Structure 1
Amino acid sequence: MKHLTKTKIVLFSLFIIIALFLSGILFGSKMMTIEHLWQVFSKHITSIDKDYYRTIFQMRLVRSIAVMLCGAALGVSAALLQGLTKNYLADSGLLGINAGAAAAVVSTVFIPWLQIDFFWVALLGSTTVAAFVSLIGLHGNDENYSRLILIGTAISVSLFAYVQTVTQVNIAMMDKYRFWISGTFTNVTFSEIVHILPVWLLGMLVAMGLGKSINVLSLGKTSAQSLGARILFIQIITLLVASSLSAVTVVLAGPIAFVGLGAIHISRYLCGMNYQQLLPVSAVVGACLLLGTDILARIVIAPSEIATGIMASLLGAPLLYVLVCLGKQK
């Protein structure tokens, strides 16, 4: 396949993300129109519906911003982990990062006196698992990183078993966990976005700077070492950034499957294997995928809605199948 030029990718991505962002504000249980948007911003209109639509606009604006940030984080996180492990199925769920965040969050039931934000709890859980997995799996000469993936999968299964045990014993935590595990942006607030924004920005900036290093790693350990690459340092930073971006999503909405995998596969189809291009494209594609998924989750059974994480799972499996088939035909 002949990959698209940078200019075409940028223009197309900009058009899609603006269209989806606007759709995220207009569509929902109560439809808005362009006239309603004009009514919200106009100072000369005193319609009785103005305050009502202003409230809807503000809620959907905050939600769409949160969805866009999380989608970008998921896309970049999956791209980093696939570049590190050279495995096209690697993401934060496969390596136990999501499970670590979930286990840390439900563990707060044992320390009710601890007044700490859930974000830092989830970040601690995800980075602890990432550090443990890297300590055991990132040594030796395993070019396929099979040990890393197997250890991450085993830890993920064990931690989710722990999470299920805790939530079954504690009914209050079960109610919170059941809502959180489905992956929903319903109650996201602007203050929560502001709270995680510094970590998101730092993670994205560092991630964009890792593109060249991951390209070097893709040559193999021997070649990378001959080029002077600090392999262990790059691996640790990559895991830390990937887990931090995953924690951002886990805290805001819970674990969301397939979006990161879908974003990196589509991005690879669009721009090839150069991670200096692949990382920013994965961010944009991830944001677009999650925005589109969230819109569908709101309108499929309107006026009710499906959790965004559930809709992502419903759409993600066939999407990945199509992408794999397209990859085989290349």
Structure 2
Amino acid sequence: MYHTGHAAEGRTLKVRFIGLAVLLTLVVVAAILSIAFGIVRIPYRSVLDAFWSFDGSRDQLIIRTVRLPRALIAVMVGGSLAVAGCLMQALSRNSLAGPELFGVNYGAALAAVIASFLLGSTSLTIFAWSALLGAAISGASVFLLGSLGRDPLTPVKLVLAGSTMNLLLASLTQGILILNEQSLDTMRFWLAGSLTGRDIHLLEQVLPFMIIGLIVAFSMGGHMNVINLGDDMARGLGQRVFFMKVGCIIVIVMLAGSAVAIAGPIGFVGLAVPHIARFLVGTDYRWILPYAALLGALLLLAADIAARFVHPAQEIPVGVVTAFFGAPFLIYLVVRKGGTT
């Protein structure tokens, strides 16, 4: 009996590793397609020459300075948002939770709008750093609100604190944009969620936060399995629940804040991808998190490719594409689960 169970477990592990390999291959293929295809048609030979025999031609410059950074940004932003969504759903034990619920998106957006309003700048670097700061302040505020009273950081208190903060920040953001037309014109494309115009130097500035956040998140998979059982059960199993939740919140802010800082508030990736990952590998967060990272990267790459061709005369923001497909998915989750895990 033991031998049969051990063999079944071995087969399951093998299948999951194969699944990771397949997803990684699909991400690489999608990244290659993202680099090769765009509104400007570039011969396949020029795409290859851009890497193997660069001569500074217009086509090769587009490949190396525009499309390659854009594909890399899509991979990192998609993976970061998806993993942040997994952690948020585990922390709140709510299948409809995502980074948006934590106020990170609008915290970053408000800070970027304030920077545009006060400085009159259109620099993406200023947007990125102000957005990252805003996401951190928003996450800290939600943490403080959720810690008030008895039984700090319960799932219900986190959801209520996050929802309240999100509504407040959204209202302030819209108020500033209405009062200042210049800020509205400057921020409109960024607020829709876009990968257009981002370069490799912008990615380099937030990449350390993303990499550290992903590494820490993957190392927390086993602990998240226990936390997901409930606070009392987790304490009974020896987990330091409060400190685990604090660490989880910090990682969420690092991942989602970095993603929003570089690409704007792209919705639904952090909500939808964790459900797809759970469908593929079950409820073990040691597998959910790496699957979600690859699925998020794949989803955003595909959405970005689609965004280039929906309206050939002008690219639409990738956030519009993810919202178009994500809204029906959200409706399905609400009808099927009613917001509970």
- State TM-score, norm by structure 2: 0.86
What pairs with 1:1-330 in structure 2 (closer than 5 Å)?
A: 5-41=15-51, 43=53, 51-58=57-64, 59-109=66-116, 111-112=118-119, 117-138=126-147, 140-141=150-151, 145-321=155-331
Structure 2 Cα separation of the partners of residues 302 and 167 of structure 1: 29
5+ residue gaps, structure 2, are 1-10
Segments of structure 1 that go 5 or more residues without pairing to the other structure are none
Distance 2:226 2:52 in 1: 53
Query: TM-score normalized by structure 1?
Result: 0.89
- Judging changes above 3 Å, is the alpha-carbon distance between structure 1 residues 11 and 325 closer, same or farther for their aligned structure 2 residues? farther
**Larger relative helix fraction:** 2
CA contact (8 A) 1:130 1:243 kept: yes
Tell me the distance in 2 between the aligned counterparts of 1:113 and 1:315: 34
> Deviations 1:130-158 (Å, cap 9, x if unpaired)?
22222222564589722321221121111
Give yes or no for contact 1:133–1:152 (8 Å, CA) kept in 2: yes
Query: In the aligned structure 1, how far is the partner of 2:62 from the partner of 2:156?
Result: 48
1:16 to partner: Cα distance: 0.9
Counterpart of 2:162, as a letter, is G
Contact preservation (8 Å) 2:193, 2:264: yes
Q: Which amino acid aligns with 1:112?
A: L
Identity, in percent, stands at 32
Paired with 2:44 and 2:335, the residues of 1 have a C-alpha distance of: 40
Structure 1 residue identity aligned to 2:131: A
Identify the residue that residue 3 of structure 2 maps to in structure 1.
none
Counterparts in 2 of 1:102 and 1:3: CA distance versus 1, 3 Å:
farther
Aligned-partner Cα distance in 1 for 2:21–2:231: 37
Cα distance in 2 between the residues matched to 1:41 and 1:126: 36
Q: Is the CA contact 1:143–1:221 (under 8 Å) kept in the aligned structure 2?
A: no
Deviates more, 1:84-93 or 1:102-111: 102-111
CA distance in 1, matches of 2:117, 2:43: 48
Q: Which AA in structure 2 matches 1:81?
A: M
CA RMSD of aligned residues (A): 2.7
How much does 1:320 deviate? 4.3
Change (3 A) 1:270 1:327: farther
Cα 1:319–1:12, aligned 2, differ >3 Å: closer, same or farther?
Answer: farther
Matched position secondary structure for 2:202: helix
What one-letter code is carried by the residue in structure 1 that aligns with 2:270? Answer: G
Q: How far 1:322 sits from its partner (Å)?
A: 5.8
Q: Distance in 2 between matches of 1:179 and 1:277?
A: 35
Distance change in 2, residues 1:186/1:217 (3 Å): same
Q: How many aligned positions are there?
A: 323
